Amino acid sequence: MANELRDKMRVFLSATKKAGKDLGDGIEALREQIVRLREQRGRLLSVPVNKTVALERAERWARSKVEISTIVDGSMFVGASPNWRGPEMTLEAAFGAFAGEFLINGVRRAVEHQYAAGLEGISEDDRVVKLMEIDRKLLDAELSEESIIRTAEAAGFPATRRADADPRAVLAHDEVLP
């Protein structure tokens, strides 16, 4: 009888250890997936915009500098007054007032040069769609991790939550967990 009980306890202990290991492996696999998805999201955020967007932004910036500068009255530069010391304006404003198209064309050429050298980019719409896909996968992985942790806790296994776990997953109702 004692041997039979000892054998049953050994089997039970072995099964418990295996369950604990499987649980730990499952949580670790999900955590690795979360790290990969976060890295993927970070890389996507650093991908430059496409050439069209870059040109629009650069031209808009250059034109804003020129528009601010064009309010300068050209007569300010006529030094006919005996007390004339020059216009009260910054060098940037003076440059914009008199060389605005040069600035706009120069900025345009600089952007064209970057993209001619092989720079690749994506549109903002594509970026938003891809970010939404990654964010959905991230939340799914976080919810799965939380589900496993709660199941482990209910079964008496200790399971530690990550400090950076998504609060939406940690605070999620049991009904929304996978």
Kindly list the domain boundaries of the chain, sorted by start residue. 1-47+124-178, 49-121
The values of phi and psi at residue 15, to 5°, are -65, -40
* Mean confidence (pLDDT) of the chain: 84
Question: Which tokens hold the place of 145?
Answer: 């991790």
Please state the rounded mean pLDDT for residues 152-168: 90
Q: What is the pLDDT of residues 105-121, one digit of tens each?
A: 999 999 999 899 888 88
> Which residues on neighbouring strands pair with residue 122, listed in sequence order?
49
**Three-state DSSP state, 49:** strand
| Residue 82 half-sphere exposure toward CB, CA atoms < 13 A | 0
Which H helix or E strand runs over 100? helix 91-116
What angle separates helix 91-116 from helix 51-69, to the nearest 10 degrees? 170
Nearest-angstrom CA–CA distance, 31 and 59:
44
Q: 139, 114, 146, 138: which is closest to 39 by C-alpha?
A: 138
pTM value surpassing 0.75: no
Task: Please tell me the distance from the alpha carbon of residue 93 to that of residue 81, in angstroms, as a whole number.
Answer: 22
What is the chain's length?
178
Q: Is the pLDDT of residue 137 over 90?
A: yes
* Predicted local distance difference test score (pLDDT) of residue 74: 52
Q: Does the pLDDT value for residue 49 go beyond 80? A: yes
